[in-house]
Amino acid sequence: MTQVLAAPQKSHSSIINPMLLSHGTLMCKDLANSRRFYEEFLGLEVVRHARPAMMLRLKTGMYVVAVCVGEKVPNQHVLTHWGLNVATRAEVDRAHAEAHRLKGKYGIQRINKALERHGAYGFYFQDLDNNWWEIQHEPRAIDDFFDRGDIVDMSVVATDSAEPQE
């Protein structure tokens, strides 16, 4: 009989006792144009919950708040991106082709090549508000990462990536 080793249990002592990672925030230039992109291109559910903002979500309790700041939207780096997982590599390729085809309609600024990266297959693209998105097929379950625990010692300092992000 093979014995499976469980990941070491971590102490759950913290200052804050959170119940849920609930939301993040991104900025947009124009709520109407951004909403059209989020709903029509990305397939997200959107509600306008405040005068300068709207909420986005996809099948979870976590949501993103898009806050309208007009033309003051700063440029973003590809490493500060939002990720969407799709079911297959073919779906990544289809989304990549559609991003190119619909670039003008949705104001997509840059589209990187689809590549195998960090064990997943996907591509990054920059939207009309300078935000970066990653469309990927990740064959591993997210819980697998957390169940396994750290695989790199926290004393290892990494200031650059071994893989190009384009």
Q: Please give the domain boundaries of the chain with CATH numbers for all domains.
A: 23-145 (3.10.180.10)
Going by pLDDT thresholds of 50, 70 and 90, the confidence category of residue 5 is very low
> What does the mean pLDDT of the chain come to?
89
**pLDDT value at 146 more than 60:** yes
Alpha-carbon distances of 135 from 14, 75, 83, 84, 161, rounded to whole Å? 33, 20, 6, 5, 20
Q: What are 101-122's pLDDT values in tens digits?
A: 999 999 999 999 999 998 999 9
Q: How many residues does the chain have?
A: 166
